[in-house]
Structure 1
Amino acid sequence: TSSSPEMTFSNYNYDSAYEYYYGNLTDNETYFFTDSTEVCPSSYLHGADIYLPILYSIIFLTGFIGNLFVITVVAAKGKRNGRLVDIFVVNLALADLVFVFTLPLWAVSASQSGRWNFGLIGNALCKLSSYAIAVNRFSNIFFLTCMSVDRYLAVVKLMDSRFLRSSQCIRVTCAVVWLVSLVLGIPSLVYRSVEDNGNGPICLENTQSLFFLGLSLTSVILTFVLPVLIIILCYGTIITHLQKHCAAAGNSRADARRRHSLKMVLFIIVAFIVSWLPFNIFKTIIISSQLSDAELSCYSLSWQRDGLIISCCLAFLNSCVNPAIYFFFDHHFRRHAKNLYLSCLAKPLLLQSHNSSGSFTNIGTSESSWTTVFRGRLQSFDQKG
């Protein structure tokens, strides 16, 4: 299952060999005591209560605006001008959009050193926000896997995959991905809650349950390692196929379009793996040490906690990266974004022309002239894009 910094690691349970008690020995530092009377700082990340809220706020704003922009542009294309891969693009943007709405909660919590002070609804917010993070993580990797398989079918098995690459089949696939992701996120609802560690309420997971720890480790393998292997296999086969058939005769325009979509999907996948790989590595190390009852040093405990907090921030950044990839690396998306901008700009100008016209003839003439002007602008932008 997925995690976020405060809800998992603000009150990390290191097992009975490392019994600890939180105490505010200074205003900004939290310490825990091991059975060897060693005093250990729970974190070496000084100033986290300042830069984490700022970072979460930036991710929220850019992720909200960017993903809403992606959905608007793709929806404005319509079925006539849309691509099959756009169905996955919209679903990815929707998953990221739902996720970023939880970040203000974590920004507030981070500004209070991980405390979850949301009153009577605090426990419900803890569970729901954790659930949203889990569903986002699962749905993202599954959609990216589906996009990789779609690119494989489009390049390698084009003539044998007409049904699998139909819009109806892809929509059904997206519905199945959402359903599976919603089910896999359920443990976040069950095993996360608000608890008081002596310094105030904190949203954290139940690390006492061996079942939950085993489930978390299994989910890392099944929902990250296995999909990444499938993605690598798909793209390895695609690259091999293109190298063998690069000189083959065919529709050069369609081939260029497939290569362009292939490149765009590859950028998205690389961004996702780079963002989420550190998190999954730290998550696996921590769960393995818990399951094995390993006695870790003071430095190792803090290193694990700080590493996961940083890797969580990196993973969260992925929610606002995809819109930038679409805009800068997808000429098809950028062209439609420009068209949408110009059409929105044309409406107030047409309205102004309408209000200033004195007759029906003038209205028709003005509208026609504005239409001609903006068609010329669209054509010039299309040539540049």
Structure 2
Amino acid sequence: MDAYTGYEFYEDNTTDNGYYYYNIYNNITECSSSYLPGSNIFLPLLYCIIFITGFVGNLFVISVTGINGSRGGRLVDTFVVNLALADLIFVLSLPLWAISALQNGNWNFGPAGDLLCKLSSYIIAVNRFSNIFFLTCMSVDRYLAVVKLMDSRYLRSTRCIRATCGAVWLISLVLGIPSLVYRRVEEIEDGLSVCVEDNNSSFFLGLSLTMVLLTFIFPLLIIVLCYGTIIIHLNKHCVVAGNPRTEARRRHSLKMVLSIIVVFVMSWLPFNIFKFIIIVSKISYVELSCNVAFWVREGLRMSCTLAFLNSCVNPGIYFFLDNHFRRRAVLLFKTCTGKSKLLHSHNSSASFTNAGTSESIGTTVRTQI
């Protein structure tokens, strides 16, 4: 029971570090703890769909972009592979949340329940952080490729990009630690166990608010700045002195990355808005009415599902918007079907084509798009 407001907070499931829902009870009238009708049916169904499509789709992306190692690939593919890997690991945790949602939030996994609660929440947190950081890196990479091409030889080298990906993973793994520390299974009533966070700590609430700013708002500002500068640059330099085919491929790659970012923002923005409202209301001890509390809680549940959908959308974006990805998908198909002669022919043509997809720096240095 909150000593300042007389409100009692209970938490529910389907959360990353901060994915908490609560019912509010004041000291006079008990608020309804009901859920949206049918949520215990359509939420598990959605989780299963996300799991299947996300697992198959991201595994497909990793397989396609990994053909022949770095041969015929682009520097941006390094970020694409790491992004797909983060989503692939994340979707493996969804069956747990689907089972929990099917039981109206009951986290009933026996002796391993607490460990699974902490581990799955940690995976979701790491996925959330790594996604936004990789997308930010992709935006900076596009900025360097379009605006600062002549000055970005080192920053856009294979070694530097791999080191950047390693740093992103390390930072994301560290930032996800609060999910291991503050997440646990609690028994609420009548044997009902839920995977919740300890939100009574002012330090944790402040940390959660800081995470929203540093892992969503700040990276989003960088992304907007990069693309705003790119658009201004392209408008000023409609006629490029270089290879027109290279410029067309650069613009196409730009469109693909921008589409991924737009989808990510649309997926995660509602969640971050609801999360921000809840954190601020708890920190400032603002009393929420029963009706407002219900819609904030349910809004967070639905926006959580929307955020999860992001992990199975990216493979579709690559396939429909990236001609280079589709060509490599055909190459994978030929490899799997054993069409070695066609494969050799395709590799020969791809080697010729790839020379046109590289961005020339002077006459001796080439950096792949």
CA contact (8 A) 1:43 1:305 kept: no
Q: Residue 307 of structure 2 corresponds to which residue in structure 1?
A: 315
Gaps of 5+ in 2: 12-21, 354-369
CA contact (8 A) 2:335 2:343 kept: no
CA contact (8 A) 1:342 1:374 kept: no
Q: Residue 9 of structure 1 corresponds to which residue in structure 2?
A: none
Which of 119, 123, 127 is residue 128 of structure 1 equivalent to? 119
Q: Residue 202 of structure 2 corresponds to which residue in structure 1?
A: 210
Gaps of 5+ in 1: 1-11, 23-29, 348-369
> What SS is found at the alignment partner of 2:249?
helix
> What SS is found at the alignment partner of 2:69?
helix
Residue 372 of structure 1, CA deviation = 5.9
Q: Find the structure with the greater CA-based Rg.
A: 1
> What SS is found at the alignment partner of 2:56?
helix
Structure 1 position 62 matched with structure 2 position 62: no
Structure 1 position 251 matched with structure 2 position 258: no
CA contact (8 A) 1:13 1:207 kept: no
Structure 1 position 267 matched with structure 2 position 259: yes
CA contact (8 A) 2:271 2:303 kept: yes
Residue 39 of structure 1, CA deviation = 3.5
Deviation per CA, 1:93-135: give whole Å up to 9, x if none: 0000010011000001001110110111100100000000000
Which of 70, 73, 94 is residue 82 of structure 1 equivalent to? 73
Q: Which has the higher helix share?
A: 1
Q: Residue 157 of structure 1 corresponds to which residue in structure 2?
A: 148
Residue 40 of structure 1, CA deviation = 2.2
Residue 21 of structure 1, CA deviation = 8.5
Q: Residue 72 of structure 1 corresponds to which residue in structure 2?
A: 63
Q: How does 1:85-234 map to 2 (within 5 A)?
A: 85-199=76-190, 200-234=192-226
**Cα 1:111/1:39, change in 2 over 3 Å:** same
CA distance in 1, matches of 2:98, 2:151: 49
CA distance in 2, matches of 1:40, 1:14: 18
Q: Residue 362 of structure 2 corresponds to which residue in structure 1?
A: none
CA distance in 2, matches of 1:299, 1:100: 33
CA distance in 1, matches of 2:144, 2:215: 22
Instruction: State the one-letter code of the partner of 2:51.
Output: F
Residue 227 of structure 1, CA deviation = 0.2
> What SS is found at the alignment partner of 1:197?
strand
Instruction: State the one-letter code of the partner of 1:265.
Output: V
**Cα 1:162/1:20, change in 2 over 3 Å:** closer
* TM-score, reference length from structure 2: 0.87
Instruction: State the one-letter code of the partner of 1:18.
Output: Y
CA contact (8 A) 1:139 1:181 kept: yes
Structure 1 position 284 matched with structure 2 position 283: no
- Greater CA drift, 125-134 or 253-262: 253-262
Q: Residue 352 of structure 1 corresponds to which residue in structure 2?
A: none
Instruction: State the one-letter code of the partner of 1:218.
Output: T
> What SS is found at the alignment partner of 1:208?
coil
CA contact (8 A) 1:14 1:290 kept: no
Deviation per CA, 1:297-354: give whole Å up to 9, x if none: 100111110000000000000000000000011010011101211221235xxxxxxx
Q: How does 1:6-21 map to 2 (within 5 A)?
A: 17-19=6-8
Deviation per CA, 1:212-262: give whole Å up to 9, x if none: 000000100010000000000000000000000112321112111111111
Which of 294, 305, 311 is residue 302 of structure 1 equivalent to? 294
* TM-score, reference length from structure 1: 0.84
> What SS is found at the alignment partner of 1:17?
coil
What's the RMSD between the two structures over aligned residues?
2.5
**Cα 1:251/1:94, change in 2 over 3 Å:** same
Q: Residue 357 of structure 1 corresponds to which residue in structure 2?
A: none
Q: How many residues align?
A: 340
CA distance in 2, matches of 1:19, 1:191: 18
> What SS is found at the alignment partner of 1:204?
strand
CA distance in 1, matches of 2:262, 2:9: 40
Deviation per CA, 1:5-63: give whole Å up to 9, x if none: xxxxxxx98975223789xxxxxxx9875311x23222441111111111100000000
> What SS is found at the alignment partner of 2:185?
strand
